[in-house]
Amino acid sequence: MFDPNRIPTTSAADAYERLGGASDAVSPLLVDVREPDEIVEVRPVGGVAMPLSAFMARYRELPTDRPLLMICRSGARSAQATAFLLGNGWSDVTNVAGGILSWMQAGLPTRRGELDPGEGDLPS
């Protein structure tokens, strides 16, 4: 049973490594729960956008058969989303500690500006 006091957490560097598929049979999906204006400002390359303001209406769109890495600005909102998903049937969800701030501090790839068509969309 999920313990809401123990949120699975990983570093930005480890999350990025996992996204490369080095150790996972199924590559994780990076889910950015920040708001659209924050995502336009700076975002991790390859993430999908699901703002927390729309999360409750859309969370069922997230795959249950694929690891999810949740990210926000500093790790607080994504920790909430991680706890919610784990408490509602998802089994492999991990919060990215420090969020996009840690991602940038680690020198990991980011994009800025308006999203390209299809960028940030959930895979079909």
Model pLDDT, residue 26: 78
Nearest C-alpha neighbor of 68 from the set 109, 111, 24, 104: 24
pTM of the model: 0.93
Model pLDDT, residue 2: 55
Band (20; pLDDT cuts 50, 70, 90): confident
Of 1-5, 92-96, 107-111, the poorest mean pLDDT is in 1-5
Of 23-27, 31-35, 40-44, 101-105, the poorest mean pLDDT is in 23-27
> What tokens were used for 61?
């769109």
pLDDT in tens, 65-107: 999 999 999 999 999 999 999 999 999 999 999 999 999 999 9
Could you tell me which residue, 41 or 5, shows the higher pLDDT? 41
Nearest C-alpha neighbor of 45 from the set 120, 124, 122, 121: 120
- pLDDT at residue 38 above 70? yes
Q: What type of residue sits at position 124?
A: S
Asked if 44 and 107 count as a contact pair (C-beta separation under 8 A), the reply is no
Give mean pLDDT, residues 7-17.
Answer: 96
- SS3 category, 71: strand
Cβ atoms within 10 Å of 12's Cβ, excluding its own: 24
Residue 46 pairs with which residues in a beta bridge? none
Q: Is 72 designated active site?
A: yes
- 7: alpha, beta or left, given left = phi > 0 and alpha = psi -120 to 50? beta
Which is catalytic among the residues 33, 72, 79, 93? 72
